[in-house]
Amino acid sequence: MQIAYYPGCTMKASARQHEDAALAVLGALGVELREMDEWNCCGVVHSLTSDNLIRHMAPVRVFARLREQGADEVATLCDMCFNTLGRANLLAQRHPEQIAAISATSGDDLSYDGGADVLHLLQVLRDRVGFAKIRARVRRPLRGLSVYPYYGCKLLRPAEVGIDDPETPAVLRDLMLALGATVVEGSLQTQCCGAYHVVNRDEVVTQRVSATTEQARAGGAEAIVLSCPLCHYNFDALQPQSGAQMPIFYYTQLMGIAFGLDPDQLGLEEQQIALLPLLERHNLVHAPTPGD
């Protein structure tokens, strides 16, 4: 299986471990992500101002380029890119006149009719690969490892672009169950992490991260598993320093562990809160033994 791939800037800078792990895991599943030949930043935040069209130029250009490169669907790992691209796609489908206005501002060099799709990698795994195939690829089940799936906002809201039920999502739970992990759930799984308040009101983020990790811990979880690089940053960098800190995994890293891939491919040492001690405690990072 081959799918066009839009990485987004974060995957090339602060979330490289997520991309490294994803590419390794997908290789093991026979899925090839083909990075777009040329791409630009997605625009980061979807503008809610109806007439501020220049803010939609970046995501529309991504789709226009995708089409020029001969593809009509593109996968991305980043929740933020996924959300911004998905909402721009809705704009293109519903308001072609706005796309025409955007193109006119850009010297008529943009052409896009809203006919392409953006897929989050979790959709590819759930709907194209299938959790049964993922379960079959597991070489070292995450037996005994108890994780709390955290969804945040961008994967689920607004519902018209979300990949799962915005109130009771299941995709990360089902993926973790396929890997053999124990799943702890709670009411704060879909609460916003505080997002860009980290820039100038980091107490907002600290309070939310702290409440979520406490709920996870109270339910017996030893780690958080998530998909969004911004949530990852906030959970990894702004967890209260006092007391035990909860390791934060990208789901791709746990897939790699469960698949028995070389831990060096999974960027396990690239976060502030160490991941290895927990994996070692569960005997998950040594070479797989025969018959495992």
Residues that bind another protein (CB under 8 A): 7, 9, 12-14, 16, 38-41, 43, 54-55, 57-58, 61, 105-107, 109
What element of type H or E holds 76? Answer: strand 73-76
Closest separation in Å from C-beta 7 to another protein: 8
**Residue 15 · residue 262 · CB < 8 Å:** no
Q: ω into residue 169 within 30 of 0, thus cis? A: no
One-letter-per-residue 3-state SS of 275-288: CHHHHHHCCCCCCC
Closest separation in Å from C-beta 101 to another protein: 13
Report the C-alpha gap between 277 and 98 in whole angstroms. Answer: 52
Q: Rounded to whole angstroms, what are the CA distances from 263 to 6, 37, 112, 169?
A: 25, 29, 41, 29
By beta-carbon proximity to another protein, the closer residue of 40 and 245 is 40
By beta-carbon proximity to another protein, the closer residue of 9 and 177 is 9
By beta-carbon proximity to another protein, the closer residue of 230 and 261 is 230
Closest CA to 271 of 233, 243, 242, 216: 233
Q: Rounded to whole angstroms, what are the CA distances from 194 to 178, 224, 237?
A: 30, 16, 13
By beta-carbon proximity to another protein, the closer residue of 43 and 267 is 43
Closest separation in Å from C-beta 63 to another protein: 12
By beta-carbon proximity to another protein, the closer residue of 13 and 132 is 13
By beta-carbon proximity to another protein, the closer residue of 13 and 48 is 13
By beta-carbon proximity to another protein, the closer residue of 61 and 126 is 61
E runs forming strands in 90-166: 117-120, 146-149
Closest CA to 87 of 127, 50, 56, 123: 56
Closest separation in Å from C-beta 89 to another protein: 16
**Residue 52 · residue 43 · CB < 8 Å:** no
**What residues contact 54, with CB distance under 8 A and at least 6 apart?**
102, 105
**Nearest-10 crossing angle of helices 229-237, 79-94:** 150
By beta-carbon proximity to another protein, the closer residue of 53 and 71 is 53
Q: Rounded to whole angstroms, what are the CA distances from 195 to 26, 32, 86, 148, 157?
A: 28, 31, 19, 19, 14
**What residues contact 37, with CB distance under 8 A and at least 6 apart?**
69
